């Protein structure tokens, strides 16, 4: 195996298919690395040693039998622990599901198994995917591999960390308001938030059903595109899954950006407090321009309301979705004197502080007398945010902003002030509310050596253009080849 | 929304609706935090959206129909294995009705 652990998914697949490395050998090497570094990083909640070796052995047998190998044959992958895996515990980083073993695989897990991917284990997250720093995990804090005292981002912090630290070349996360893009930006990797409906959520534990999407994470745009290719497509088990042709995402990486109109939200960029973030974004824009893109000014006048809108809608939906955790059919049960007390005790002990806070906020926003003032009003302002994008896309093909206002903040920096934590999501929330496709890819390092992410947003089902533009940003100012310093 | 910020009593009421028990200390902290969040959300009041339709689904889609064909579902014993308590092939729950 050459260049372990930094080989790409394509290189691993080629080595396995060509016989220069066996899938078992690859799996053993990554498992050993994960087991060695996890005590330091806490990015895995479960390492499925046995399952990974069994999947790898199956790939090796298929190769020996001369069968055609899938596009991810022998490629190790890490899965966020809110994706159901048959026979492997799926916790959502919550005590209420601490020992839950799903009797079925999520759609994306089936797709990965069919592609020959080797699932290494399940990654840490903010409990039920609610958070922006991974500090809401009820098990452990994940550490950013670029600076161990900093947050990896959230909620897919474990997946981002594992990928950035070379514990797996690929990972899946889920994104409700930025949960693959923000940790990707903090950890210096690429993540795609597909259009709402592009990837089936069957088997993804629901947080906010009008927003949730599963997204690929990788150290390069091309690998993220390959992973999207494997998981995208219609699935009748998810009623919101779009019955539409998928794109040619890997091929799109080679198309360039000649003639592409890149919308720049000038007032957002000018309002940035962090000079480093602004400078790196400007450099990425220059790289796009140099390759033939044109920059046009666009505005998103209602984007500033996205935090309010999102934290009303997402919490309302969460309060409803999380009603299923009642201590009766699966998960934790804390017995009470009667049924009601069994419910309330189970939920009070089983859910952590942030999940309880969001259930409370959502229940309040939906409750009699407040529905119109909060929930319905938020849904109306959501329309204005969506219309902002409709207008922007009349004059551009993609909208560009930073992914986050700052590079990775310190662990503990925002935990005492929930609102402060929510405000850090300002750039990733608007495209989520509008259901759009988005990518975050690195556009350089800050003066203190922390990764900075660029976000590109495209109209519904136009993921291909994100792959093309993302590749140009990566070629011009990406971090492929840079290694997280904190691991040395 | 100006006077809609949440009181301690409202926090207790909402906790009851949400089937959560909060200690007095937890409820006080919750009230403070929700109050700050709801205060921030008053920023939405600067918009008049009375004539703007709500967006419940960001991507327009029809409710899809499929043929109603029976299929095998998961094995019952596998599902019950995950239950905190099961009995006679079903989920066991705390007593809801007194039986003579």
pLDDT tens, residue by residue, A219-258 = 999 999 999 999 999 999 999 999 999 999 999 999 999 9
Instruction: Calculate the alpha carbon distances from A221 to A19, A168, A396, A458, A461 in Å.
Output: 26, 15, 22, 15, 17
Q: Is A380–B53 a contact, with Cβ atoms under 8 angstroms apart? A: yes
Number of domains in chain B: 1
- The chain-wide mean pLDDT, for chain B, equals 89
CATH code for the domain in which residue B30 is found: 1.10.20.60
- For residue A206, give every residue at least 6 positions away whose Cβ sits within 8 Å of its Cβ, in sequence order, or none: A212, A321
Residue corresponding to tokens 């890149």: A262
Cα B31 to Cα A328: distance, rounded to the nearest angstrom? 29
Contacts of B11 in chain A (CB under 8 A): 360
> Which range marks the domain in which residue B34 is found?
8-46
Q: Could you tell me the CA-to-CA distances from A404 to A42, A107, A392, A474, B20 in Å, in that order?
A: 23, 30, 20, 17, 33
**What is the DSSP pairing of strand B86-87 with strand A398-402?**
unpaired
- Chain-wide mean pLDDT for chain A? 96
A278 vs B: CB within 8 A: no
Closest CB from B41, B78, B93 relative to A328: B93
* B27 C-beta neighbours (distance < 10 Å), count: 19
DSSP 8-class letter at B99: -
pLDDT of res. B65: 84
Question: What is the DSSP track for B7-68?
Answer: PHHHHHHHHHHTT----HHHHHHHHHHHHHHHHHHGGGGGS--TTSPP-S-SS---------
Residue A180 confidence (pLDDT) above 70:
yes
Query: Which residue in A80, A122, A193, A414 is the catalytic one?
Result: A80
Side-chain-facing half-sphere of A338: CA atoms under 13 Å: 4
Burial class (CB in 10 A: 0-12, 13-18, 19+), A58: middle
CA distance A434 to chain B (A): 5
Per the annotation, the verdict on A179 as an active-site residue is: yes
CA distances from A121 to A14, A45, A59, A198, B76 (A): 23, 8, 17, 24, 26
Counting every residue, how long is chain A? 488
For residue A424, give both structure tokens: 């850090």
- Check: CB of residue A130 under 8 Å from CB of residue A386: no
Residues 6+ positions from A209 with CB-CB distance below 8 Å: A240, A317, A321
Beta bridge pairs of residue A456: A400, A439
Confidence band, pLDDT 50/70/90 cuts, at residue B99: low
pLDDT at B94: 83
Contact A344 B20 (CB under 8 A): yes
Chain A environment of B33 (Cβ under 8 Å): 357, 418-419
A131 to A88, A126, A182, A365: CA distances (angstroms): 24, 5, 11, 19
All domains of chain A in start order, with CATH: 9-255+468-487 (3.90.1300.10)
Does some domain include residue B25? Answer: yes
pLDDT band at B2 (very low <50, low <70, confident <90, very high): very low
A332–B84 C-beta distance less than 8 A: yes
Cα-based distances in Å from A39 to A43, A109, A455: 9, 26, 32
Residues A463, A200 contacting (CB under 8 angstroms) = no
Q: Is residue B82 part of a domain?
A: no
- Whether residue B27 lies inside any domain: the answer is yes
Q: Give the pLDDT of residue A98.
A: 85
Range name among A42-46, A225-229, B94-98 with the lowest pLDDT average: B94-98
Could you tell me which residues are beta bridge partners of residue A171?
Answer: A78, A217
Which percentage of chain B shows pLDDT scores above 90? 72
Q: Which of A432, A438, A446, A426 is nearest to A470 (CA)?
A: A438
Answer yes or no: are the C-beta atoms of A411 and A141 closer than 8 Å: yes
Tell if the pTM clears 0.95, that is, is over it: yes
Spatial separation of the C-alpha atoms in residues A232 and A241, rounded to whole Å: 10
Backbone dihedral angles phi then psi of residue A204, each to the nearest 5 degrees: -90, 125
Structure tokens at A379: 């849904």
Identify the CA nearest to A75 among candidates A33, A125, A19, A30.
A30
Gap between the Cα atoms of A46 and A99, Å rounded: 11
Model confidence at B1: pLDDT above 70: no
Q: Give per-residue pLDDT as tens, A136-159.
A: 999 999 999 999 999 999 999 999
Angle at A464 between CA A462 and CA A465, to 5 degrees: 80
In a domain, B22, yes or no: yes
**What is the predicted pLDDT for the residue at B30?**
96
Rounded to an integer, what distance in angstroms lies between the CA atom of residue A443 and that of residue A285? 10
Task: For A119-147, give one letter per residue: b (16+ CB within 10 A) or e.
Answer: bbbbbbbbbbbbbbbbbbbbbbbbbbbbb
Contact A348 B21 (CB under 8 A): yes
Residues 351-380 of A with CB under 8 A from B: 351, 356-357, 359-361, 363-364, 367, 370, 373-374, 376-380
Query: Helices (DSSP H) in A351-479: which residue ranges?
Result: 353-366, 377-395, 418-423, 429-433, 463-477
Which pLDDT value is given to residue B3?
Answer: 54
């Amino acid at each position: 195996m050459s260049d372990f652990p930094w080989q790409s998914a394509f290189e691993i697949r080629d080595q396995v298919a060509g016989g220069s490395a066996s899938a078992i050998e690859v799996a053993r090497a990554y498992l050993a690395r994960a087991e060695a570094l996890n005590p330091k990083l806490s990015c895995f909640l479960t390492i499925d040693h046995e399952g990974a070796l069994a999947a790898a052995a199956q790939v090796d047998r298929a190769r020996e039998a001369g069968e055609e190998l899938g596009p991810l044959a022998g490629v190790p992958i890490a899965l966020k622990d809110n994706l159901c895996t048959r026979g492997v515990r799926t916790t959502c980083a919550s005590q209420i599901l601490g020992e839950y073993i799903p009797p079925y695989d999520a759609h994306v897990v089936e797709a990965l198994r069919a592609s020959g991917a080797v699932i290494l284990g399940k990654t840490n997250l903010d409990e039920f995917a609610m958070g922006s720093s991974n500090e809401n995990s009820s098990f452990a804090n994940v550490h950013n591999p670029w600076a161990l005292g900093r947050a990896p981002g959230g909620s897919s912090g474990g997946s981002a960390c594992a990928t950035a630290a070379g514990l797996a070349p690929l990972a899946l996360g889920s994104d409700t308001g930025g949960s693959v893009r923000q940790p990707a930006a903090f950890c210096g990797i690429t993540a795609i938030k597909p259009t709402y409906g592009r990837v089936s959520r069957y088997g993804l534990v629901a947080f906010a059903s009008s927003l949730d999407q599963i997204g690929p994470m990788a150290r390069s745009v091309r690998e993220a595109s390959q992973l999207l290719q494997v998981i995208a497509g219609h699935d009748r088990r998810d009623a919101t899954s779009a019955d539409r042709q998928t794109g040619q995402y890997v091929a799109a990486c080679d198309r360039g950006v000649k003639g592409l109109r890149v919308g720049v939200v000038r007032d957002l960029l000018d309002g940035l407090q962090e000079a480093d973030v602004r400078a790196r974004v400007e450099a990425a824009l220059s790289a796009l321009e140099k390759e033939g893109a044109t920059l046009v000014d666009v505005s998103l006048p209602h984007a500033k309301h996205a935090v309010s809108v999102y934290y009303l809608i997402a919490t309302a939906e969460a309060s409803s979705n999380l009603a299923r955790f009642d201590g009766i059919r699966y998960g934790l049960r804390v017995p009470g004197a009667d049924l009601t007390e069994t419910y309330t005790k189970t939920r009070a002990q089983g859910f952590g502080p942030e999940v309880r806070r969001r259930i409370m906020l959502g229940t309040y926003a939906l409750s009699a007398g407040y529905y119109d003032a909060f929930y319905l009003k938020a849904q109306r302002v959501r329309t204005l945010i969506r219309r902002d994008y409709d207008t922007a896309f009349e004059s551009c093909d993609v909208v560009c902003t930073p992914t986050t206002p700052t590079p990775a903040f310190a662990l503990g920096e925002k935990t005492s002030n929930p609102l402060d934590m929510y405000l850090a999501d300002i750039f990733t929330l608007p495209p989520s509310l509008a259901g759009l496709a988005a990518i975050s890819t690195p556009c350089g390092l800050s003066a203190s050596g922390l990764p900075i992410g660029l976000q590109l947003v495209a109209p519904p089902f136009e993921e291909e253009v994100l792959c093309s533009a993302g590749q140009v940003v990566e070629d011009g100012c990406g971090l492929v080849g840079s290694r997280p310093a904190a691991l040395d | 929304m100006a006077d809609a910020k949440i009181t301690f009593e409202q926090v207790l009421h909402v906790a009851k609706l949400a089937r959560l028990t909060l200690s007095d200390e937890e409820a006080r902290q919750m009230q403070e935090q929700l109050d700050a969040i709801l205060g921030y959300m008053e920023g939405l009041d600067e918009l008049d959206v009375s004539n703007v339709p709500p967006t419940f689904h960001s991507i327009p889609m029809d409710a899809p129909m499929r043929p109603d064909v029976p299929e095998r579902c998961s094995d019952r014993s596998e599902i019950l294995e995950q239950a905190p308590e099961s009995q006679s092939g079903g989920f066991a729950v705390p007593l809801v009705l007194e039986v003579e």
